[in-house]
Structure 1
């Protein structure tokens, strides 16, 4: 099941705080404006009364500010409701494997699958796999890969034709653009979710390998274990 990207700017620490305020700044401004308006009307020169157009304009400005404040409050309420839903969704990730940004992956002795993100204008790419000691065990070249998230399957084969032993490995991806400039590409590996955190940074999934991944950057979720 794929998860679409979402914003994680909501401060989840505010979900259980009291948001009630006695009086808003806009309400205080309205009171001051009305008091000043009444005072001006009471003390105006009968021979030179206030300009109706100017008074109407001032009242329209106050109404506009009031409308914006009400809209902001509505959006805050909607964000709180959305955040609560996202909390419930993210809690269900615990104990599951997700395809998320990272370099570490586990090879089970049969095959390993991961992905990398290809931007526009990439001429060629090279996937390099290293073992726990940092030794390069495989290099997978890609010529003119299409832009987007590209899946990769490594069968564990080494240059000598043998199969790499089961264990933990790392993947890194480098590419060349149309001008021959070398760039590093983002990789996505299968990782096990240990727990989730909620705070000012949004929802963050903590992986069993120590990696921290934002909820919105997870590409895929799998119930069965791949790690």
Structure 2
């Protein structure tokens, strides 16, 4: 599902803040005019007040008022753009996507999934899977022999333990045919079930794991 509640609340707070600032400025301006009128009525005819001073103050009030109005307008535009981005992002729901993040979601119905790539053919590949706290929960050998591949993990460790649903990261160590260490990059894969707009940024939920939409590097069917 899609969600915009956090942004709606933020917009409401911003609007309330702008209204309060405008009301305070209006009250101060009214008081300023009253004091100015009283001062002009009671000024010494032989030593009249300098008009440049209160003219400058009037200009300053006008500039502050314009700034408040501009900020209110800008926040309104940003809120509108955020809602538009959320609507567009809702098209991702149900799509299989790939994220630059190496953290994948594991649920009772869906295994954690990753893709991996290397610059050269990987002769042997070892995967170290970690939980949300960064603790290693499983280490296993992965089928290699190519430049890329995929990994599916249902939560069962090589020792026979069954890990609970949650978010799990992966670190890959590869070597080439000569036994030299080879950098291997891992990306999380999964199906988008939810998109959310929070603090102006779009977040997608993939296999139960939340990540920024900006981290997506591939979108499939």
| Category of TM-score, reference length = shorter chain | 0.5 to 0.7
Distance 1:91 1:49, change over 3 A: same
CA contact under 8 A between 2:196 and 2:204: conserved in structure 1? yes
**2:138 counterpart SS class:** coil
Structure 1's unaligned 5+ residue stretches are 1-9, 116-126, 141-151, 157-165, 175-184
Distance in 2 separating the partners of 1:195 and 1:90: 9
Measure, in 2, the Cα distance between the counterparts of 1:90 and 1:53.
Answer: 55
Are residue 13 (structure 1) and residue 12 (structure 2) matched? no
Give CA deviations for 1:129-178 in whole Å, capped at 9, x if unaligned.
347961242599xxxxxxxxxxx95336xxxxxxxxx732853269xxxx
What is the CA distance between 1:93 and its match in structure 2? 1.4
SS at match of 1:73: helix
Q: Following superposition of structure 1 onto structure 2, how do residues 115-126 of structure 1 map, counting pairs within 5 Å?
A: none
Alignment of 1:85-96 (within 5 A): 85-96=84-95
The answer on whether the counterparts of 1:130 and 1:138 sit within 8 Å (CA) in structure 2 is: no
Q: In the superposition, relative to structure 1, how do residues 59 and 211 fare at CA in structure 2: closer, same or farther (>3 Å)?
A: same
Q: Which residue number corresponds to residue 141 of structure 2?
A: 137
Q: What TM-score does the superposition give when structure 1 sets the normalisation length?
A: 0.58
Alignment partner for residue 216 of structure 2, among 210, 215, 218? 218
Asked if 1 retains the 8 angstrom alpha-carbon contact of 2:129 and 2:170, the reply is no
Q: Give the equivalent residue in structure 1 for 2:160.
A: none
Unaligned 5+ runs, structure 2: 105-111, 119-124, 131-136, 155-168, 174-183
How many angstroms apart in 2 are the aligned matches of 1:93 and 1:29? 50
Instruction: State the match for 1:106 in structure 2.
Output: 113
More helix per residue? 2
Give 2:149's match in structure 1, choosing from 126, 150, 155.
155
Change (3 A) 1:131 1:49: closer
Query: Any idea what SS the aligned residue of 1:171 has?
Result: strand
Residues 193, 206 of structure 1: 8 Å contact kept: yes
1:70-89 to 2 correspondences below 5 Å:
70-89=69-88
Task: After TM superposition, give the deviation of residue 75 of structure 1 in Å.
Answer: 0.4
